[in-house]
Homo-oligomer: A and B are copies of this chain.
């Protein structure tokens, strides 16, 4: 047991939606005090760092209602029930970009908002990209545009705020290091 552990004394599920669940829990702190924690449960997601033969990073553009703006991000998607993350990654890359990849490798996983949510993103590197002839279609409520940019262009887009997403910012630095080692 961690010396920092917070034990749940009592908890209540206040909302169970299609994607997220809201729980409020009363916890016992390491010093015996109590605190309230507001917690979001999420099924987890994958994101794909897809790099073309000419060393461009594949990005998608879509409206993000939570932020009320169009966001430019690396391809990503929620893990469906009982789906292996690697399968989600292959599926989402095809649905969102029309690409398949000859070379798919796991990079790492991380929590996106540990202060209130359990969402974990599993990151994959996709290289050896090819166009899938009749790509699977994505969710019918997703409208997505496709971009391919160099690392220098992506860095510029971080400076201007056009890229404004944590996993994508990580991906830009990751690809920069990857390509500098080639």
Closest to A21 in B: B38
When the two chains form their complex, are residues A18 and B36 in contact, meaning their CB atoms are under 8 A apart?
A: yes
Residues of A in contact with B, size category:
35 or more
Closest CB of chain B to A112's CB: distance in Å?
5
User: In the bound complex, what is the Cα–Cα distance between A99 and B113 (angstroms)?
Assistant: 24
Residues of the B chain whose Cβ atoms lie less than 8 Å from the Cβ of A108 = 158-159, 161, 169
Collect the chain B residues with CB atoms within 8 Å of residue A177's CB: 173, 176-177
Q: How many copies does the complex hold?
A: 2
A109 at the interface (CB under 8 A from B): yes
Known: A4-B61, A33-B140. A67 touches B25 (CB 8 A): no
* CB <8 Å contact, A143 and B30: yes
**Is A149 in contact with chain B by the CB < 8 A criterion?**
no
A87 CB-CB contact with B under 8 Å: no
Considering only residues 58-113 of chain A, those with a C-beta below 8 Å from chain B are 61-71, 73, 76, 78, 108-113
Residues of B within 8 A of A63 (CB): 2, 4-6, 30
A117-B114 CB under 8 A given contacts A29-B141, A29-B143, A65-B39: no
Known: A20-B38, A27-B65. A113 touches B114 (CB 8 A): no
Using Cβ atoms and an 8 Å threshold, which residues of chain B touch A111?
64, 66-67, 71, 164-166
Shortest 10 CB-CB contacts between residues of A and residues of B: A4-B63, A35-B141, A173-B173, A64-B114, A17-B38, A37-B65, A2-B70, A166-B166, A110-B166, A112-B113
